[in-house]
Structures are given as C-alpha cells and as structure tokens.
Structure 1
C-alpha cells in the first residue's frame, strides 16, 4: 500500500493536503481509477449447447460453453487501453441462461417472447487501466424474441430492448446499450452460437466521483490526526 507522509502534525487543508487526501483515497479504495467514456464498446461470443428443440416450450435453458472477443474494443476510455485476451477467462463457463415464455406463437409476425429468469454475468478479464476484473451483467427480466423456422430448422433469439445490461468497472456500474443474439441451426453440427455487443451509454457525473473521493479522503485525514 502506498503511504503518504504529512509535513506537519496538523496539516492545513490547503492544496498540498487535498492532493495527499485524493491520492490516498485512490490508492486505498479506487472509486474510478479507470477512465470510462460514453461510446466505449466491446463485443464477445462463441458456442452454446443445442437448444433449438427447447424453443416453444414454456421454459428452456441455454448453456454458453465458452467465450472469445469478436469485436475489437472501441472508444476513448477503458476499452481502448484494455489488452483483451483472445479468450474470456474459461473458469466461468458454462454460463446458463434460463428462459420463461410470456407470449407469442413463433410465427414471423408473432415471435415467441421469453423473459430471462437469471442474471447472466460475464467476466471479461482485467485491463491495464482497471484494478479489478471488468464484468458485464445481462439482467434478469430482459426480454427476447425468438422466431423458430421449421423449414431450415433454425432458431434465433434476439434481445428486444437495448437497455438491459451494464458493465461493472472498479466497483462502478455503467449502463449499456447492447445487442444479444443466440442462434441454433439444428441441421449443421452440434450446438449453437451467441453474440453480445455492448456500448457504454451512461457515465456517473464527475462531481459524484469527486465527492466520494473527498469524503473518503477527509475520513482518512481525520483518522491520522486523531492517532497523532
């Protein structure tokens, strides 16, 4: 842990003291150590188990078996500096998505409608600009439309709203606009595939972050004075 020495026993809250407080706060509890911007985007996906036969049932599940980055990061913040691994950390797989049907007939004009029953969390790994692993969460309650094509035995499940997920970066949540698609072509080999692309759309106000830093730093400064 980085330590800071005060030049006098009771340091006045001048520029030097405030700088020390801010630095101490960042070192011990990084509220926003990483640079995050609107428009930062990442995309990932890979294989699933066979799930075509389950579509149309009141309930069915899809197992995501692995993950890899399919889209180079874009933007001017956290993802620009993220040295993405080719493969997402494998220990998190399989990731199971559980669905419950809430309507629809499966026709092109009336697709099956499903709601996601559980939070689905991806560990994307650690960037050089973040302290902890970056995660992405697709929240329970997200709704998907599924058209099941009986002629070519293909099913495609698409998220029907793009405000149902968020990134967590160094303890701060960032709302995302995303696409999330699953497909299973039953006539070509085992398994299906999935594809996620998520763009950060909401960044906390700088004043909020600075306020948290100031409060945390002031507490540390008062504790040090009390000990002396």
Structure 2
C-alpha cells in the first residue's frame, strides 16, 4: 500500500522530482519489503490476544463442557486483530472407567482450557492450549484389595479442529504432560498416567513430551486426544498404595510463516519501478 500511495504522489510531480522520489522509494522500500518477505527471525515476538467464545462474559478460560456445547477459542498471535488460530468443533467426548466400583466421576466440567500464542514477524510462531484439571477430577485412588492386587483405570477422549490462517500453516504438534503424579509398583503391572503418546509411569519408563511433524504443512487439522490413568495397589508382599493423577497437560501447534499476499504484491510493484527506471536510464 505504501508503494501504491507513493506512485500516486509521484505521478503528479515534475519529472525531476518524480525521479528523486522514485530513487528514495527504491532505496528505502525495497529493503524493508524484502525483509518482510525473507523474514526477520530476530524480530521480537508479539503479544497475543485470546478470545473465549461461548464461555461466559469476560471469560479467561473455557471448560471442556462449554467447548463441547459449541464454544471455541480464537488466538490473535500478534495482537493485530487478525486471527491466526481457531480451536472449534469440539466433539465425540467419551469418559469410561473400570471396575464398576471405581468412584471417579465424569471430569468434563473440571477441565479448564486456556490459550496462549507467540508470533515472530517473518519468522515463526505458535499457539498453545493449556489444560488444567481442578478439584482432583482426574485422581485414581483404588482401595487396598481383599486379595493380592487391584487395578483401577479411567479414560477420557475428545476431538476438536484447529484452523490456522493461510499464511501460517501448521508444521508441528507437541503434546506435553505438564502435571501428573504416579505411585505404584516398579515392575509387573505398573501404574501410569498418559496423554496421547506421552506417559508418566511408575516403572520410570516415562516420556513427558511428544512431538509430531505435520507434512505437508496444513491449515486445518483434526485433533483426537486420549487421557489414560491406571492405578494399581498391592497387599503382598508389602502393602503399596498406588495412585495415578493428571493435573495439567498442553498442546502446542507450531507454524511456518509465509509472506502475506499484500507484502508480496508490494515487493513486485517496487521491483517493477526499479526495472522501469533502469530502462529509462539506459534509454
């Protein structure tokens, strides 16, 4: 737009002044436009703005229940009133547990979802969903068994869509189990807590972070999430009170930044001016 406005001004000036203005335009606009296209990886990250839609006035998070009832989350990663990420269409929720004596109740309303975002102009950025489980809603505490051992389990599953702006396609998804506690046997049938392919296990075979590449980069991705808990208690040879709990987990969607159409057009216009001036000088 700057290049077009300068062109309009230049067209009304005498020839010599027009040449001077074109020289200034080429000197200052081309480097800045080129920097925008090539990307300045050293530029500071911008502050993000998050909108929680359908989750109450002035909401600072959505519960999973609100999202499943039609709510959504929008992330403006650089605070310029353009939405880079939308998390919507939350669906297919399922909660199951075993055995029948398991006292854990549906945790849907006690899972809070907040979002953050970063954006490095011309470089990269990401949006993260941070899940917080309140009221010990995902805590398994089976009683000591009458016999030798008892295991309790629970599973939560849900889906949603993440839609990214065309100039920031998603290239990577990182799942992280950020808060969990497991007590249980270190061999045999163990206790564990897991989020998708991450796990915290009582046998010390844990992987708290898992990263998945998305190829080719995509602007729409359907996400399926599974939370698993298993707590095992044993009476012999020594009583052991096994437990399993998840208190928080997160998902980060990292992107590659492609120049926005306006930036590319501006660079092409300026490039055209340069060629025209060069031909004029040669003539």
TM-score range (shorter-chain normalised) is: 0.3 to 0.5
Structure in which a larger fraction of residues adopt strand: 2
Compute the TM-score of the two structures, normalised by the length of structure 1. 0.33
* Rg larger for: 2
Normalised TM-score (structure 2) = 0.28
